[in-house]
Amino acid sequence: MHYQVSFDFSVSPWFTQHMFSDGRIAEDGLRPRHYDEWRKIVMSGERARRIEFGEDDVLLANGKRVPRLPQSQDPASQFVQFVWLFTTQPRLLQKGNVFEIPLALPNNLRRWPYMVGEVESLDLPFGTIDAVHLRPLGPHKPNEYPFEIWSAPTLQYLPVRIHVQLDEQNYADLALDARPLQAARAPASSASAGFAEP
């Protein structure tokens, strides 16, 4: 089964990013085939990058080819992979648990550990929702932007809030601005998320 995931967010006028993942759905979750990223940062200009996934290796945006780890994801597909992980393995969301996502970024592919935190009540534009707080564990390399994620069990574990630390002073705190359509039915083969500053 084929999937496409499109993910966009912006912190106007400083930062805009579009991410697009294309691939197939397998027994172990999403298997990306390629990932496209377009980013614009004030004072830094625009940048477009692509990651290509083969059966056994991954061609990164910097031209380096690395072995493909099992269940490897890209920056866009990872959010849907979280949905698959928690739906098939809800025990992962026990407080204090640490699990890993193999993540291919433009310059490297490695396992990213996440720690499961508290269930928090979030006031979002479409209402109040309980969500589990997931924190990425460092250290992180320069130009990596770790995502803190809040996953909502009552919305099929979709991410409803994302915090992105751009540098020591600047960050983006993003939240879904409408109840996602995917939450009203079984998981779909395509997804699109729109986030806004709360």
Cα 130 from chain centroid? 19
Domain contains 94: yes
Q: Is residue 101 within 8 Å of residue 86, measured between CB atoms?
A: no
Structure tokens at 125: 């534009």
Domain contains 198: no
Collapsing DSSP states into helix, strand and coil, what is residue 115? strand
Domain contains 88: yes
Cα 77 from chain centroid? 6
pLDDT for the residue 177: 62
Number of domains in the chain: 1
Phi then psi for residue 175, to 5 deg, are: -145, 145
d(CA 57, CA 183): 33
Q: Please give the chain's pLDDT, 198 residues, in tens.
A: 999 998 887 766 677 888 999 999 998 899 999 999 988 877 777 789 999 999 999 999 999 999 999 999 999 999 889 999 999 999 999 999 999 999 999 999 999 999 999 999 998 888 888 999 999 887 777 666 678 899 999 888 988 888 876 666 655 666 666 566 655 443 333 334 443 343
d(CA 145, CA 152): 22
Domain contains 103: yes
Collapsing DSSP states into helix, strand and coil, what is residue 139? coil
Domain contains 33: yes
Structure tokens at 197: 């500053």
Domain contains 60: yes
Structure tokens at 195: 């986030």
Alpha-carbon distance values, 186 to 81, 102, 106, 182 (Å): 15, 25, 32, 7
Domain that residue 125 falls in: 2-189
Domain contains 194: no
**Which stretch of DSSP H or E encloses residue 81?**
helix 77-88
pLDDT for the residue 186: 38
Domain contains 104: yes
Query: How many CA atoms lie within 13 Å of 78's alpha carbon, on the beta-carbon side?
Result: 24
* Closest to 39 measured CA to CA, from 67, 64, 16, 9: 16
pTM summary value: 0.79
